[in-house]
Structure 1
Amino acid sequence: MASNTKEVGIREVPRIDKWIVLSLQHLFAMFGATILVPYLVGLSPAVALLSSGLGTLAYLLVTRGQVPAYLGSSFAFIAPIIAASTLNGPEGAMVGSFLAGLVYGLIALVIKAYGVNSIMRFLPPIVVGPVIMVIGLGLAGVAIDMAMNEPVSGEYSTTHFIVALITLTITVLASMFFKGFFSLVPIMFGIIGGYLSALFFGLVDFQPVRDASWFAAPDVLVPFVTYIPAFSWEIAFIMVPIAVVTIAEHIGDQMVLSKVVGKDFIKKPGLHRSILGDGVATVIASFLGGPPNTTYGENIGVLAITRVFSVFVIAGAAVLAVAFSFVGKFAALISTIPTAVMGGVSILLFGVIASSGLRMLIDNEINIGLKRNLIISSVILVIGIGGAFIQVRDNIEIAGMALATIIGIILHIVLPEKEVSYGKKAMFESE
């Protein structure tokens, strides 16, 4: 960490040249992950950039310009968006995202009224950790399919797998050996390196870039304009429970951010405001056709290294993201990235998601040897990864991660000795 860098306060405005450079750093930090999510679920990367920028600006407004956090596409919602899109197309996924955003708002109201522990008592590490593992491991098949198979025919391709392995290798090396800011953007280096290798193997077609105009409005999905939204209980059961898990992750991010900046954001402006900001950003994304948004750890890392905590720098990155979303050739260039490249990056990313769930158990010193913890974690993992579902009605299912989350919470409520599920380190300290 660069400890010799002069600290810039939350409300300070850097000199314009430094402002632009610092904002670009945050743009690069979030870029790889933010465009990867829509790429995997069949949404527009340009719209994801647009909703990310607008969502971050809304977040800054909701938190009264007191929390320097950038919001990008949430990986937790990849599988639910794919499932919802299979049922009702991308429009159905947007309805589910909107409902998830409303859940953020409701939980923010509960926290405002009753305190953080009113929510966290239902989400101990033994529930949240395995659910996060399910999110990562449940997507393993998607990553391997993209890495190994030709996208059109679906048949095995040695060339595609070689490109994926090259991409993975570059990403791993960047993660391990790069220092400072560069260590925060291994996804970017992996995608760029993998793209160059795909170019060498003849997997890249530049025709879409040649055909695209420099200025082009993102291909947004706007309710009651481009489609008529329709409520579905099945989509609600797919998307809404994931919001509960991402809120637990959000609380962890806020605690880390508070330590980095040296201010208690849980108390001021208050956790209810930051969660509401996430919810508003997700609702905005659902109105545009982008994936749900969440605070990004990569950008927290940038804050830690640069010691520049200015919300104006974060806002600058958001404005740049919005501007890039209207560059047609830029969006076309993203569309030329071969699936093998994204598959190679995803092998590591989805594994990291699963490992972060394991890390939550370790950090909170959860004793898996205790029967209660062993039962809860085992049931969540098998139900979530195994693809179990409950058929409520002919067209309504509660499946996968949603079912695993619900059953995990129920088991935590009904089984005795609840205190052992919080570990030696409480997930959230008493108020």
Structure 2
Amino acid sequence: MTYSQISLPLDDFSTISFEEDGIVGNRSILPGGIRVLTEKIPGQRSVSLSFWIGAGSRDELGGAEGSTHFLEHMLFKGTNTRSSLEISQISDFLGGAMNAATARQYTCYYGRVFASDMPQLLELLVDMVTDSKLDSQQMEIERGVILEELAASADDVSEVAETAILPLILGEHPLARPVGGTRKTVLALDHSHMLEHYHEYYNSRELVVTAAGDVDHSELCSLVQSLLSSRGWDLCAGTTPSSRRRATDVSYSTQGNELYIPHPSNQSAVVVGMPGLQIGHRDEITMLALDSILGGGTSSRLFQEVREKRGLAYSTYSWFLNWVEGGVFALEAACAAENTREVASIMQESLEKIATDGVTQQEVDTAYNQRRAQLVFSSETNGFRKNRLGQAEIIRGNICSIEEALRLSRAVTPENIQTLAMKLAESPRSVVICGAEG
């Protein structure tokens, strides 16, 4: 059926079907609590497939920071029947589109293949998830790879500043930690940390499988159940999935903070951050419009004020992160060290001007058109759609149609945006500057 929003309950074992613009979606809970969501897209020859585990860096215990990301790496380092090289060879043979990602709320393993090759990709992902060797000697080799990955991030002033702003706003909340851990925490991780994380979360009740493209839902469900059962997973009928995970809500700092991080770079990064919105907040759609108007394009307030009128930066923009427990809203620019204070002041003034004077209807219309293009163009790719299914299942517990998302965006008014800007402008702000001393 054509839909606006579909709820995804964890105790309903009937298949839920939904349709929009000829794209048919289905969601089933299999024995063992495995959730499978698909969208069959007419006219496509490929399938994007993902395995999701509903635990991320937010869920790590103290002393095990970075273990989620480390484990993601280790699943590519060989199973009891395939070497690391063989995994890479199969991935390349299928088109080389296989990868993984760790986030604060989940871990995802994914690939895109021709529809005829989907069973082979599925079998490979099952093998990695259920039968990885997780060898202690290989862990020591991979530790060096991860440290190099962290070192590359540490060379980027923007990444350093964006990472540093989070604890200033979120305090000691687990969401404030770097997803991959730090050099110190990665060096401190031992083999038991990785095994504990694996045994805690890699099971049928945590697993979500999503696919979009030329995919048959019933066929995929049968293959998933057969493959996992053959690997010894306990797939009892009537088993409910694990509850959607949620940490304690963020308790924001009552005072803004400022941090300067010396860095040998030709440019400095300056980030002004403040408390944002939780997922599901009534102003969540309004935040998208404000973000676009303030820092989303070449006609945005920040781009015009910082770059075009004053020539103080090449890039400047706004961004936000939101989770079920809280959120962050930020303004950012890359500029010469001697200009960081002035740029930080101009960015804040741009937010304050929206709070006091509001925005024009033309700006609202432009923000909507940008949102419409972003959403519709992205929805034409099966990778976007399989990600949308996974995040809806793991985080939100419902899925919103593209048309409904556009309707909600179109309903945002200049008054809505000004009211939200006023709330943000009244909140404590923190500043991080990373780069050479100005």
Task: Answer whether TM exceeds 0.5 for this pair.
Answer: no
TM range (shorter): under 0.3
Structure having the higher strand fraction is: 2
Higher relative contact order (CA 8 A, sep 6+): 1
How does the TM-score come out when normalised to structure 1?
Answer: 0.27
